Amino acid sequence: MAGEQVRALVFDVFGTVVDWRSSVLREVEAAAARHGVTGDWGAFVDAWRYEGYLGGIAKVNRGEWPFMTTDEIHRRKLEELLPAYGLGHLPEAERADLNRAWHRLDPWPDSVPGLWRLKQRFVISTLSNGNVALLVAMAKRAGLPWDCVLGADVLGAFKPKPEAYRRGAELLGFAPGEVMLVAAHKQDLQAAMAAGLQAAFVPRPREAGPNVQPDLEPDPAFAVTARDFLELAAKLGA
Amino acid sequence: MAGEQVRALVFDVFGTVVDWRSSVLREVEAAAARHGVTGDWGAFVDAWRYEGYLGGIAKVNRGEWPFMTTDEIHRRKLEELLPAYGLGHLPEAERADLNRAWHRLDPWPDSVPGLWRLKQRFVISTLSNGNVALLVAMAKRAGLPWDCVLGADVLGAFKPKPEAYRRGAELLGFAPGEVMLVAAHKQDLQAAMAAGLQAAFVPRPREAGPNVQPDLEPDPAFAVTARDFLELAAKLGA
């Protein structure tokens, strides 16, 4: 049985547990429609995610930006994107609300039932670059039954910095090898393994939208690969 | 209705949510009985709690000790108490397990049903001097349905330092005035109010055991006083 020494499962969230792209796209399209503005809203969302969020984290990790929360990184990019897409006149209340679209991401269909099963056998926690407030609001709306919510603001570092993984295990009271990261992203899993954690790969083919095929090929070094959280539960005996 | 502006309820845990004294006493008595040692185990538990835990936190807050987790503070005092009570020969595995008695505290009878009701309307989180690992293990065993688990190791300070309360509100994404501390201890509530939080007093007359009567007199400055979490839910419209 895979994962025999595992005591806690920690989860990447954006893309692994929740479908960020279609959830945020829906809210951006609704805001644009309210203001009668047309545009390539898929490109808006992708720029928000890839250039804005992932680019911002990379800047913090390289020391070019001070540490800030994911909510703050999202907001910085939003302020750039709105005028570029003809939405520069959005009032503050709508901007703040649109930034919180990232708090309202829908789970993949297997996420909630899978987490309930896994929770019976393991401590289940987020290990996300999101901030705690975002992750708690998301979990409450989506019904994600976390035992613990760990985000970059309490980990003190953004993944893939090794401190983020090690501090997560330490806060949960386990040795790194007793903790397994569940993620749809191979680089995240490889960084977790380099920090001493175990790795479970759950590819999410639809994460990047209809036109982009993510890298779905498992790495033989991963302890487990599963097509969703229910198969993961079965493979881990939960 | 009390608590109209309240978005999140944060809870003191030891004494407010769980009955630490009878839970730990049961485990200390069982360990002593296994080794055929007699003694005043109530005094042992009280010394562990008051001199060991509360005294240790005060030392950290005065800068006499470096920051350490509640698990570590408990263990330091346990190492003093065991030989003083004729249990100096306990092997390491039993010591480590006995220290984890603080992870296995029983909730008061109203705690679990009250938290489920309050969770429907509010974000509910611990705001405890315990460490995250202890609080997560306790919640999992007792069925405490927290939306978030905040302990001193992620708050970066022990209560009653004002930073602990303010950082808790900030991590949850709320202004201090949108957060209400629920506690059985007036000093904790008064410190929370000084940091800008609201206060709900839920006295626990049996916390200190059969021979000690805690201070049960409400402070008129508290927004709410309730005899248990179910009455608190009713008073807050949850």
Q: What is the pLDDT of residues A147-194, one digit of tens each?
A: 999 999 999 999 999 999 999 999 999 999 999 999 999 999 999 999
Q: B77 vs B72, B85, B99, B157, B209, CA distance in Å? A: 9, 12, 10, 20, 20
**Hunting for tokens 């005035």 — which residue is that?**
B177
CB contact under 8 A, A172 and B136: yes
pLDDT in tens, A90-141: 999 999 999 999 999 999 999 999 999 999 999 999 999 999 999 999 999 9
Please tell me the distance from the alpha carbon of residue B103 to that of residue B46, in angstroms, as a whole number: 17
Q: What is the pLDDT of residues B170-220, one digit of tens each?
A: 999 999 999 999 999 999 999 999 999 999 999 999 999 988 888 889 899
Q: Which of A140, A154, A172 sits opposite B133 (nearest CB)?
A: A172
CA distances from A124 to B55, B116, B150 (A): 33, 19, 16
Record the tokens describing residue A223, joined without a space: 């302890």
Q: Which residue has the higher pLDDT, B214 or A199?
A: A199
CA nearest to A121 within chain B: B140
Please tell me which residue of chain B has the smallest CA distance to A137.
Answer: B123
Tell if the CB–CB gap between A173 and B147 is shorter than 8 Å.
no
* φ, ψ at B54 (rounded to 5°): -65, -40
Q: Which two tokens stand for residue A179?
A: 């903790």
CB contact under 8 A, A140 and B125: no
Instruction: Report CA A197 to chain centroid distance, whole Å.
Output: 18
CB-facing half-sphere around the CA of B33: CA atoms within 13 A: 6
Q: What pLDDT shows up at residue B2?
A: 61
Check residue B82 and give its pLDDT: 98
**Which residues make beta-bridge pairs with A14?**
A18
| Predicted complex ipTM | 0.96
In the block, which residue shows the tokens 């079965």? A234
Instruction: With cut-offs at 50, 70 and 90, classify the pLDDT of residue A210.
Output: confident
CA A55/CA A169 separation, integer angstroms: 26
Residues of chain A contacting residue B125, judged by C-beta atoms under 8 Å apart: 136
Q: Which residues of A touch B (CB under 8 A)?
A: 71, 123, 125, 131-134, 136-137, 139-140, 147-149, 153-154, 171-174
Query: In this structure, are residues A214 and A44 in contact, taking their beta carbons and an 8 Å threshold?
Result: no
A100, A127, A136, best to mutate vs chain B, most B CBs in 10 Å: A136
Question: SS3 of A151, please?
Answer: strand
For residue B200, give the amino acid letter. Answer: A
CA distances from A149 to A139, A185, B149 (A): 9, 20, 7
pLDDT at A2 over 70: no
Residues of chain B with pLDDT under 50: none
DSSP H or E stretch at residue A96: helix A92-99
Q: Which candidate, B180, B228, B176, B170, places its Cα nearest to that of B6?
A: B180
For chain B, give the number of residues: 238
Q: What is the model's pLDDT at position B174?
A: 98
Interface test with A, best of B148, B166, B172 (most A CBs within 10 A): B148
Q: Which of B213, B203, B226, B233 is nearest to B16 (CA)?
A: B203
pLDDT by residue (tens digit) across B127-140?
999 999 999 999 99
pLDDT tens digit sequence for A27-57 = 999 999 999 999 999 999 999 999 999 999 9
Provide the shortest C-alpha distance from residue B19 to chain A (in Å): 21
**In terms of CA atoms, which chain A residue is nearest residue B71?**
A173
Q: What is the pLDDT of residue A141?
A: 98
Q: Do A71 and B134 touch (CB under 8 A)?
A: no
Nearest residue to B175 (alpha-carbon basis) of B196, B151, B192: B196
Domains of chain A: 8-17+108-235 (3.40.50.1000), 20-103 (1.10.150.240)
Q: End-to-end CA distance of chain B, in Å?
A: 11
